[in-house]
A and B are shown apart, each in its own frame.
Chain A
Amino acid sequence: MKYLNEYRDGELAQKLAREIRQVVTQPWKIMEVCGGQTHSIIRNGIDQLLPKDLEMIHGPGCPVCVTPLETIDKALAIAAHPNVVFCSFGDMLRVPGSHSDLFRVKAEGGDVRIVYSPLDAVNLARQNPSKEVVFFGVGFETTAPANAMAVYLARQQGLKNFSALISHVLVPPAIEAIMDSPSNSVQAFLAAGHVCSVMGYWQYPALARKYGVPIVVTGFEPLDILEGIRRAILQLEAGEAEVANAYERVVTREGNQAAQKLLEQMFEETDRSWRGIGLIPKSGWRLREAYREFDAEHRFQVTAIRTVESSLCRSGEVLRGALKPNQCPAFGKECTPRRPLGATMVSSEGACAAYYNYGRFISLDQVAHV
């Protein structure tokens, strides 16, 4: 397969890992921000090729994980409306709110549908004028342009029956929150390649300077991730803190300017609670006042729903690398993948779920050569 298999080559991966091992002279902690990268690290076992002294901390970049409980509860309330067709990306259906999830709402008669693009929801609205079609627009900067475009098109087409429940989160404020935390131990970041393909990386030099951390824009295939780690390690060992781009085939410094322009037009910054982490100021986007009529929160009057997250959950500390999942008192007791309390247990790629599944504790020497 063109442009994918090339980045999954076992020998090249081993070579990069060797280079990393040769360079590392002391313990380092690097955070991959994006859930897609966490997935790739676990899926391919990339961390097993790294030196013991180099710890990868799985950051808060899984949109499924960090979508606040409150937003899920709002989604569930809207989806239960009799005349609503509630459209969502597939993996949000299983994410538990306070008392239910979208799968259960569907089973109880709600019209909940998996779509692959927010534009599918716009089409559904056009085809079903007597129904209220709502799109659940969550995620980082990556998914934001398509969500913005959906609302933009809905207005252009004069669709009165389309709205979106928007809860976007932003990477740079999350990096700041992590670095500002007193218990922070992260020394370098792999920035999320897909986010940067939209936003570029012009925002990052200021962060790298402010906190003295290397930030390497990194892709998602095994070789991409190893190369990102290698570049971060080279900087750490040399005492540098620069922004580097290890995903040049996709990302430019300026990013996708047409998308950024649309985002600026449609969204405004807002404070956002992150599941398991708490409130981060100006860390999210919501629809601007001018597009309020397409804001499902207002249309369905769910703005008043308030949900308090479990005080047992310490996933914020896990996400900052301050606590190992199995050191949390709720781990495996009140909190399991089937009944998760917080972000890191929700998604299969969250750190707590990965620990729970024992996934990571079969050592390489136990895995015999076939």
Chain B
Amino acid sequence: MSEQPHLSNWSCPLPLRDYPGIVLGHGGGGKLSSELVEHLFLPAFKNEALANLGDASVVSVPPGRLAISTDSFVVQPLFFPGGCIGDLAVNGTVNDLAVGGARPLYLTVGFILEEGFPLSSLAMIVDRMAAAAGNAGVQVVTGDTKVVERGHGDGCYINTSGIGVVPHGVDVGPAKASPDDVVLVSGTIGDHGMAVMSVREGLQFETLIESDTASLHDLIEQMMAAGGSAVHAMRDPTRGGVASSLNEIAKSSGVGIVLDEKALPVRPDVQAACDILGMDPIYVANEGKVLAFVSPDAASQVLEAMRKHPLGMNASIIGRAVNHHAGIVAARTAIGASRVIPMQIGEQLPRIC
């Protein structure tokens, strides 16, 4: 099992006398299952809808269109500098809703646990999920736990689905970017991917790179307040990094995108780690950043609003949507030449030399 974070004053809420680890019975629907729900999930996620323990939770939603999203989390290691799988599972789905212009409201959570997985680790993950949900103002309203035999899972997998409401008049989406839109990013890129990689691969860098996992709903709300309908498209550039998200938007919107490489905010330690491994930060995952396409007249207001927010202090203008080379992302390189930033075929791999 992966190393565990140091949480001062943390104590496990479960009665651990008999079972320090997950056993098959915890997913069996019997007494052990309900103990898990009663002692761990209910107190952590406490809310009325969940407390009913019905087969389905009934919730009410304000007027507007519903946004629905689902994501599964299989990160290794489960705990890494700056967060854990629990943070990702909540923030990831909250962010997917938020970049669609929705106010995130409710989450569902499904755990797939491996026999023998320490209950204390599960409790820590749940604790982080509850904190992240509280921070994002969403309620975890229903959940499910299954246990697989030892050797058939990686400790803990989590699926979350989320529901949010898109207020009337809001219409953002990956197909809405138009030529001349200014491309903004809310902060440094590549932090999460390199943080996970440095612990997963046992690479020792001189500094600790931390994941940027965070829920972006509040930052995005501020951006929408500042830019209104001038905010056309947003994306949280997770797997595949900024490059993949921009390629998707270029294709969906039928625009070209031009980046100014010098303007891409990259932490020096992340850049150094990427250089060592022969990787490009533009393809490395983020878990707490948003890309936005904003019409030029509103770009500076939106940028200003981003920079006022703790999660957007390093926000920058990194490029522009253009009328040329539709569907293709190009960059002006640091030495004043150009290059195309294609979609990667698979995962970025460390190079031999």
Within 8 A of B (CB), among A165-182: none
* Interface: B307 (CB within 8 A): no
Interface string of A335-370 (1 = CB under 8 A from B): 001100000000000000000011110111011111
* Interface: B46 (CB within 8 A): no
Contacts of A366 in B (CB 8 A): 324-325, 330, 338
Known: A91-B352, A94-B349. A358 touches B262 (CB 8 A): no
Contacts of B201 in A (CB 8 A): 114, 116
Q: How far is the CB of A171 from chain B (nearest CB, A)?
A: 12
A358 to B201, CA, bound (A): 34
Question: Cβ of B353 and Cβ of A63 under 8 Å apart?
Answer: yes
Contacts of A94 in B (CB 8 A): 345-346, 349
* Interface: A152 (CB within 8 A): no
A89 to B349, CA, bound (A): 9
Contact of A368 among B258, B317, B336, B345 (CB under 8 A): B258
Contacts of A59 in B (CB 8 A): none
Contacts of B262 in A (CB 8 A): 10
Known: A1-B268, A366-B324, A367-B258. A36 touches B353 (CB 8 A): yes
* Interface: B275 (CB within 8 A): yes
* Interface: A140 (CB within 8 A): yes
Which residues does B use to contact A, with CB under 8 Å?
A: 201, 203, 258-260, 262-263, 268, 271-272, 275, 277-278, 280, 317-320, 322, 324-325, 328, 330-340, 342, 345-346, 349-353
Q: How far is the CB of A336 from chain B (nearest CB, A)?
A: 10
- A-B pairs with the 5 shortest C-beta distances? A45-B337, A90-B349, A13-B335, A370-B260, A90-B350
Contacts of B280 in A (CB 8 A): 43
Contact of B275 among A4, A46, A362, A369 (CB under 8 A): A4
10 contacts between A and B (CB under 8 A): A8-B334, A9-B335, A10-B334, A44-B335, A89-B350, A357-B340, A359-B339, A366-B338, A368-B322, A369-B332
Contact of A143 among B258, B346, B353 (CB under 8 A): B353
Q: How far is the CB of B33 from chain A (nearest CB, A)?
A: 33
Known contacts A47-B337, A49-B336, A368-B324; can you find 6 more A-B pairs with CB under 8 A? Answer: A114-B349, A139-B353, A364-B337, A370-B318, A370-B320, A370-B332
* Interface: A142 (CB within 8 A): yes
Q: How large is the interface on A (under 10, 10 to 19, 20 to 34, 35 or more residues)?
A: 35 or more
Interface string of A56-93 (1 = CB under 8 A from B): 00000001100000000000000000000000011111
* Chain A minimum-CB-distance residue to B271: A1
* Interface: A112 (CB within 8 A): no
Contacts of B278 in A (CB 8 A): 91
A89 to B338, CA, bound (A): 29
A43 to B275, CA, bound (A): 13
* Interface: A48 (CB within 8 A): yes
A368 to B122, CA, bound (A): 51
Question: Cβ of A10 and Cβ of B336 under 8 Å apart?
Answer: yes
Q: How far is the CB of B74 from chain A (nearest CB, A)?
A: 15
* Interface: A222 (CB within 8 A): yes
Known: A4-B275, A362-B328. A91 touches B335 (CB 8 A): no
A42 to B337, CA, bound (A): 10
Contacts of A35 in B (CB 8 A): 353
Contact of A370 among B263, B268, B335, B342 (CB under 8 A): B263
Contact of A14 among B258, B328, B335, B346 (CB under 8 A): B335
Question: Cβ of B268 and Cβ of A44 under 8 Å apart?
Answer: no
